[in-house]
A = this chain, B = another copy of it.
């Protein structure tokens, strides 16, 4: 039953990637996300994941459902097989990355609010802050342009 095995290299990569993914994911989810990128077999069942990563059923269940809800993974089923086969959702990751890039739209808007309520007396500081805000706005404008440029360069 424990037929799939991970090489030491793969285990090391899962740990490394897992650590990266822990920025934004809890450990178990992070390691599952990593596993589904690293493993030779791309579609793994609940129990395979559980055993490969030494997780409890509950931890596995919760972590998988979290990843599903974030659309970072998805699953397929096979006819005459009750199990679900989980796999990484690469295409959605690109979307995620884009939105992540534009996420700091919120930041610059709040910063603008901060600036708007500042007294005139702190002119230098306000100017510095404004420059920073302008910089963020600039990035917000230009990054979508970069995305387009990328799409074009692919053809």
Spell out A's residues near B (CB within 8 Å).
9-10, 13, 16-17, 20, 37-38, 40, 42, 88, 90-91, 93-94, 97, 106-107, 110-111, 113-114, 117-119, 121-122, 125, 128-129, 131-132, 135-136, 138-139, 142-143, 146, 149-150, 153-154
The reply to whether B94 and A132 contact each other, CB–CB distance below 8 Å, is: yes
A125: which B residues are within 8 A, CB to CB? Answer: 42, 88, 90
A42: which B residues are within 8 A, CB to CB? Answer: 122, 125
A10: which B residues are within 8 A, CB to CB? Answer: 117
A139: which B residues are within 8 A, CB to CB? Answer: 146, 150
Copies in the complex: 2
Give the residue name and chain of the B residue nearest to A21 (CB).
B107
Give the residue name and chain of the B residue nearest to A107 (CB).
B20
Of the listed residues A113, A121, A136, the one surrounded by the most CB atoms of chain B closer than 10 A to its CB is A113
What are the 5 closest A-B residue pairs judged by CB atoms, nearest first?
A90-B128, A40-B119, A142-B146, A37-B114, A138-B150
A136: which B residues are within 8 A, CB to CB? Answer: 97
17 extra A-B contacts, CB within 8 A, seeds A90-B128, A94-B132 = A10-B117, A17-B110, A17-B111, A17-B114, A37-B129, A38-B117, A38-B118, A40-B118, A40-B119, A40-B121, A40-B122, A91-B128, A97-B135, A97-B136, A131-B154, A138-B153, A139-B146
